[in-house]
Chains A and B, each alone.
Chain A
Amino acid sequence: MKNYEIVIIGAGPAGSMAAQAAAAAGKKTALIERNEKPSMPVRCGEGIGRKGLATTLEPQKQWIKSGITRARMISPSGIKVEIGNVDQSWILDRQTMDFDLVKQAVKAGADFFPSTTIVSAQKKTNGLYHCIGQDKEFTANCLILADGVESRIARCFGWDTALKLSDIETCAFARVTSPLIDQECCSFYTGGQVAPGGYAWIFPRGGAQANVGLGVIGSKCKAGLPKELLTRFIELRFPNSEVSHLHCGGVPVGRWIRPLVKEGVMLAGDAARQVNAINGAGIAYSLYAGKLAGETAAKALNKGTINHKILLKYQKQWAKNFGKQQDRSFALKEFIMNVGDGFLDRIANSLARENPEKISYLRVFTRTFATKPTLLLKAFKLFK
């Protein structure tokens, strides 16, 4: 039995940031990871905005594979909208970044347990949390669950984390090497033929390579469909290319889980469904939420007793800084799921005639709202 003040399950961006913050605040911290190393394999498109990353971390050169200056959206019927005015964005090297974040947590004083799967957890009568692994056991005063999309351990504490089929994007992706890849531009393809209820992405990562993948909404999926569609997508757009790193994964696109804290247990990252439901982006949010959860837990814990009032501040601050914004994305996603390909084509058609330099992501959204004013009302209601 190993005893800790704070135990964190899952060493993705959320877990590693939580561990670093908790250990840096002087708490006896354990970071537990099922795999030998995090991000093995990387299950991510690796796209992030500079702002999103810099909110929580000082970006490091070795984490950045390439910089993006333009984006292109391709509507279901093939209308191209060039977006010349994108915020500074990067394609990351998640493997390097995720390893570095674990190293930083260890440097701050956290104990790292790789190749260790937590099977279940429970609260004992002495008030301590007991985490049961396959060959190791841990106790903790406070638990941070950062076990990613599966979010299984939360179920031990009464959270219902099983996702509805309409709240999961099921994805297949690969690294494609081809001279046909535009290295400065991220492309997004929509439409029922390409990716029902989701989109396909091409994120260039330098050296004639790109992350190419697609997501299908669970409610329109069938066994193996994402892989089939991806194979077709790659053959069509990059014939005779070299394909490596073919993997799959799930992105939660429901609302973030409420409450985020129950007694001494906190949820962070994909485990808490802290993802932008419209585009499936989660890296920046999991970094932010993980760090905030770790810091808050450390503040709330004093000589083995938890100050619950302090612990609850985690949810408040999350809601204020990102949670409300994610609620709006969720409302928008629910709407888009119910419009046909024709609606996306109409928006694309009206934007395609404009000057790309004047088109930003914001513009795409405002145009969407302008086309369907009731949606704006819905989104506004969430501001309250």
Chain B
Amino acid sequence: MNLLKNKRKNLTKKNQRIKIDFSNCDRCGTCVSVCGADVITLAAQLHIDNKKCVLCQKCVTVCPFGALAAVEEEFI
């Protein structure tokens, strides 16, 4: 049971990504300022390079409007 749980956990982490709720993002750059992996960029829109993201979730924590969340990647 425990083993199963652990497996599930790893799987979850692996398939997580940071999702941007564009209707809530104010383009303030606060998330960019804390991202140690330097994978968030702000131009006309906010962009996260999820391939290089280490899922530390600092960006999620600091977003004043709560526009970021770690979500499960959807499989087709």
Contact = CB atoms under 8 A, between A and B. Distances in A.
B61 A222 contact: yes
Interface in B17-76: 26, 28-30, 32-36, 38, 41-44, 58, 60-66, 68-69
B41 A218 contact: no
A61 to B, nearest CB: 30
A43 B28 contact: yes
A218 B30 CA distance: 10
A150 B42 contact: yes
A223 B58 CA distance: 10
A151 B29 CA distance: 9
B33 A226 contact: no
Interface size class on chain B is 20 to 34
A208 interface: no
Contacts of B58: 165, 218
A34 interface: yes
A4 to B, nearest CB: 21
B43 A168 contact: no
Contacts, number: 91
B33 A163 contact: yes
Task: Output the residue of B30, B34, B41, B69 with the most chain A CB within 10 A.
Answer: B30
A314 to B, nearest CB: 23
A281 interface: no
Contacts of A227: 64-66
Contacts of A171: 64
Contacts of A151: 33
Interface stretch (A179-187, A244-252, A345-353, A359-367): A244-252
Interface residues of A, number: 34
Interface string A249-272: 110100000000000000000000
B64 A226 contact: yes
Given A223-B66, A227-B66, A149 B41 contact: no
B33 A252 contact: yes
B29 A250 contact: yes
A237 B30 CA distance: 27
A152 B65 CA distance: 21
Contacts of B38: 152, 155, 162
A148 interface: yes
B28 A168 contact: no
A13 B21 CA distance: 30
B65 A224 contact: yes
Given A152-B32, A164-B34, 17 more contacts: A43-B28, A117-B43, A150-B42, A155-B38, A163-B34, A165-B34, A168-B33, A170-B62, A172-B64, A172-B65, A218-B34, A218-B61, A223-B61, A224-B66, A227-B64, A227-B65, A250-B33
Q: What 8 A-B pairs come out closest when comparing CB atoms? A: A224-B66, A250-B30, A248-B64, A226-B64, A223-B66, A117-B43, A150-B32, A150-B29
Interface of A: 34, 43, 117, 119, 134, 148-152, 155, 161-165, 168, 170-172, 216, 218, 221-227, 247-250, 252
